[in-house]
Amino acid sequence: MLLIALLCVVGGMACGRHLPRLWLALVLAGMAAAIGAASLALGDGAGWEWRSAFRVGGEALHLRLDAISAMFLALMGVVGGGGAVYALGYWTDRDHPDSAPRGRLWWNVMLLSMGLVLLSSNGLHFLIAWEMFAISSYVLIALDRQRRDARAAGWLFLAASHAGTLCLFAFFAMLAARNGDWDLGPMSGRAELAPLFWLALAGFGVKAGLFPMHFWLPSAHANSPSHVSALMSGVAIKMGVYGIVRFSGWFPVPAAAGWIVMGAGAAGALLGIAFSLAQNDLKRLLAYCSVENVGIIFIGLGGALLGAAHGDAPWSRLLLAGALLHVWNHGLCKSLLFFCSGSVLHATGTREMSRLGGLWRAMPWTAGLFALGAVTISGLPPLNAFVSEWLIYLGLFDAASSHDASGWAAVPAALALAAAGALALASFIKAGAVVFLGAPRTEAAERAHESAPMILGPMFALAGACVLIGLAPVALWPAVAGAAHAWRPVWAAAAPAAPLFALGLANVALVVLFVFAGALLWRKANANGLRRALTWDCGYKTPSARMQYTSGSFGRTATDWFSSILLPQRHLRRPRGPFPARAALMGHFPDTVLERIIDPAAAAVMSLSLGARRLQHGRIQFYIVYLLGGLTILAMIVLLG
């Protein structure tokens, strides 16, 4: 199966340039094969392992597919296949004659390298695949290289990604130095490897967008083409999560790991969504929401580490299951939302929410799917993200009820999760309403049109997956339990630790009743007589589109509570004189970590480097002085040492 997947993806690379239809068929076949392999591994739980007789780069290839990597591989298959269909409708050869073929080629490179990251069980090959993955992401982010902000976003991504890779180099090199070879596998008995976890956390945390290492993420996800954003947000950041899950399962971790991971997760969940609420750019809003959801995943993961350290408490299984399930759920619904945002961008040419509005009339399908995605990502029942957040809540409640030290982490995390959930609701009500409801604010929004079936098709598929997981969560339990077993072998795969069946039942009942009640009320309203009239607006007769509540005003109340962290930049031009001509208020929310920490640090490094460059000026006399000075210092060291 994996061989078929590999052949299809490599074959797709060859023909991606000139034969887009064949490319699509090959990518879909490859992704189907990958999903098949993943479900086989998830089904029997035993996994698959293969060592090559030949050597690549001095090391034998060692591939391994177990339940953990299979979970991530299946997600990659779904989003990678859906994104390929979407790409053909969205980034067409007609509109982008230069970059569309290049995009298809690098799409396959990215899928291939992510697959290799998931499969390789050798440190050297892992690093090679990781680097390939970073470079292909860079090319895809900066696919539209005419645009300055896309180039800047790609550059920032590349720099951040390499800072992370540097940590991973150190991680794998020190591991290889301690083990004598690059081969990876379970080594839970080796307590001396525990401190290396911090290197892995830093390296993979950058890729996952774990707060405060998320600074590259908003611009990268906002400026790339939407199918790339979906793959980046849905799958690529999950590779960072995969790395931490993988190596915290295989290697021992320091005692503080659970606390730190959970704390960073809780902070990221809360602040990520606060930043999201403040945004006016639809795709930046979605990108910050990914920071929130990665935070939620890390709350679960940190709790699982904490529980494993507290004598394998039963609640830690709930937390790990919630975290792993949230990887899927967030991957599916965030890809759906990015596809929707791409559809809007395609139809109107802008991502700025204050220029949109009233799009539901022109694009009813996109509007409906965005509403579904908004309900999902806010973690509301009866859809899928609620199931995973519910599992995490249950684990946190049980941890708090255990009355031991873990409550100190569980209680703040539960409260952060509650506030983050409510803020997510505010953020997505805002996005949905400002973009799709009300009156069009500009001409571009008025002229919008519904997208092609190639764009809508993958969106429907992802929405269907979100609904299905919400209705039948118990069907996924074996997969999640298998992954938990692979993560920590003492946790034997057992009956569901939570009443997922009852929850599924409640969700099914709710969906049936929602449809029924909605139809009933619609019919009743029509039977009583439905009349259309101007919005009431308390009797005001000539409302204009500009009088509507904007995205900035909608989020103002809640973002003001976080203003000491968000540091909003507002420019107000007050109306002056008896006949004011112009007045304006502009609000801008730059990323605090990037502007206040990374940029000054980068500027300091730059000025230091420029200072060092002054030493090199081409005058030979001074070089002789340098030489003499160096020799004197060396001589002093020798004499004194």
Partner 1 sequence: MNPLTISVELIFRLALWLLLAPLLPGIINRVKACVAGRKGPPVLQLYYDLARLWQKSVVMSTLASPGFIVGPAVAWVALTGAALLMPIGTANGALSFKGDVLLLIYLLALARFCTAWAALETGSAFEGMGAAREVSYAVLTEAALIAAVLSLSVQSGSSTLGTMLAPSAGPGAILLAAGLFAVLLAENCRVPFDDPNTHLELTMIHEAMALDHSGPPLAVILHGASMKLLLFAVLLSQAVLPIGKLPQPAAAAVLAGSVLAVTVGVGLVESLMARFAFRRVPLLLTVAFLLCLFALVLAWKGGAQ
Q: How many CB atoms lie within 10 A of CB 496?
A: 18
Nearer to partner 1, 127 or 371 (CB): 371
First-last CA distance in the chain: 63
Residue 509 in contact with partner 1, rule: CB under 8 A? yes
Distance of closest approach, residue 481 Cβ to partner 1, in angstroms:
17
Interface characters, 366-395, with partner 1 (x: CB under 8 A)? -x---x--xx--xxxx----x---x--xx-
Q: Which range of residues in 319-327, 335-343, 508-516, 614-622 is near partner 1 by CB under 8 A? A: 508-516
Nearer to partner 1, 489 or 543 (CB): 543
Amino acid at 36: G
Distance of closest approach, residue 425 Cβ to partner 1, in angstroms:
6
Q: How many residues bind partner 1 (CB under 8 A)?
A: 81
Distance of closest approach, residue 427 Cβ to partner 1, in angstroms:
9
Distance between CA atoms of residues 272 and 295, nearest Å:
8
- Out of 524, 576, 588, 596, the only residue in the binding site for partner 1 (CB under 8 A) is 524
Distance between CA atoms of residues 424 and 60, nearest Å:
47
Distance of closest approach, residue 414 Cβ to partner 1, in angstroms:
6
User: Using CB under 8 A, which residues numbered 398 to 437 contact partner 1?
Assistant: 398, 400-401, 403, 407, 411, 414-415, 417-419, 421-423, 425-426, 429-430, 432-433, 437
5 CB burial (10 A radius; 0-12, 13-18, 19+): buried
Distance of closest approach, residue 444 Cβ to partner 1, in angstroms:
17
Residue 478 in contact with partner 1, rule: CB under 8 A? no
Nearer to partner 1, 39 or 553 (CB): 553
User: Using CB under 8 A, which residues numbered 554 to 593 contact partner 1?
Assistant: 554-558, 561
Distance of closest approach, residue 364 Cβ to partner 1, in angstroms:
8
Name the region of 51 (left: φ>0; alpha: ψ -120 to 50; beta: rest).
beta
Distance of closest approach, residue 299 Cβ to partner 1, in angstroms:
14
Secondary structure of residue 572 in the 3-state scheme: strand
Contact 265, 240 (CB under 8 A): no
Nearer to partner 1, 535 or 616 (CB): 535
Distance between CA atoms of residues 468 and 464, nearest Å:
6
User: Using CB under 8 A, which residues numbered 11 to 50 contact partner 1?
Assistant: none
User: Using CB under 8 A, which residues numbered 432 to 461 contact partner 1?
Assistant: 432-433, 437-439
User: Using CB under 8 A, which residues numbered 594 to 613 contact partner 1?
Assistant: none
553 CB burial (10 A radius; 0-12, 13-18, 19+): middle
Distance of closest approach, residue 25 Cβ to partner 1, in angstroms:
37
User: Using CB under 8 A, which residues numbered 334 to 363 contact partner 1?
Assistant: 357-358, 360-361
Residue 543 in contact with partner 1, rule: CB under 8 A? yes
Residue 534 in contact with partner 1, rule: CB under 8 A? yes
Residue 520 in contact with partner 1, rule: CB under 8 A? yes
- Out of 52, 535, 616, 632, the only residue in the binding site for partner 1 (CB under 8 A) is 535
Distance of closest approach, residue 474 Cβ to partner 1, in angstroms:
12
Beta-carbon contacts of residue 304 (< 8 Å; ≥ 6 apart): 258, 316, 317, 319, 320, 323, 487
Nearer to partner 1, 103 or 373 (CB): 373
Nearer to partner 1, 49 or 537 (CB): 537
Distance of closest approach, residue 258 Cβ to partner 1, in angstroms:
19
Tokens coding 555: 């989020």
Distance between CA atoms of residues 280 and 276, nearest Å:
9
What sign for the dihedral angle of Cα 92, 96, 102, 107?
A: negative
Distance of closest approach, residue 381 Cβ to partner 1, in angstroms:
5
Residue given tokens 């929410």 in the structure block: 353
Half-sphere exposure (Cβ direction) of 123: Cα atoms closer than 13 Å: 21
- Out of 6, 170, 256, 505, the only residue in the binding site for partner 1 (CB under 8 A) is 505
343 CB burial (10 A radius; 0-12, 13-18, 19+): buried
- Helices 384-401 and 500-528, interaxial angle, to 10°? 130
Contact 266, 416 (CB under 8 A): yes
Secondary structure of residue 190 in the 3-state scheme: coil
Look up residue 382 and give its DSSP letter: T
Element at 331 (helix H, strand E): helix 314-348
**Backbone φ and ψ of 393, nearest 5°:** -55, -45
Nearer to partner 1, 249 or 357 (CB): 357
> How many Å separate Cα 390 from the centre of its chain?
20
Distance of closest approach, residue 575 Cβ to partner 1, in angstroms:
18
Length of the chain: 641
Distance of closest approach, residue 418 Cβ to partner 1, in angstroms:
4
Tokens coding 625: 């002085």
Nearer to partner 1, 148 or 531 (CB): 531
Of 273, 213, 256, which is closest to residue 237 (Cα–Cα)?
213
Nearer to partner 1, 517 or 603 (CB): 517
Residue given tokens 């803020």 in the structure block: 423
Nearer to partner 1, 203 or 379 (CB): 379
Q: Which range of residues in 56-64, 205-213, 477-485, 526-534 is near partner 1 by CB under 8 A? A: 526-534
Residue 503 in contact with partner 1, rule: CB under 8 A? yes
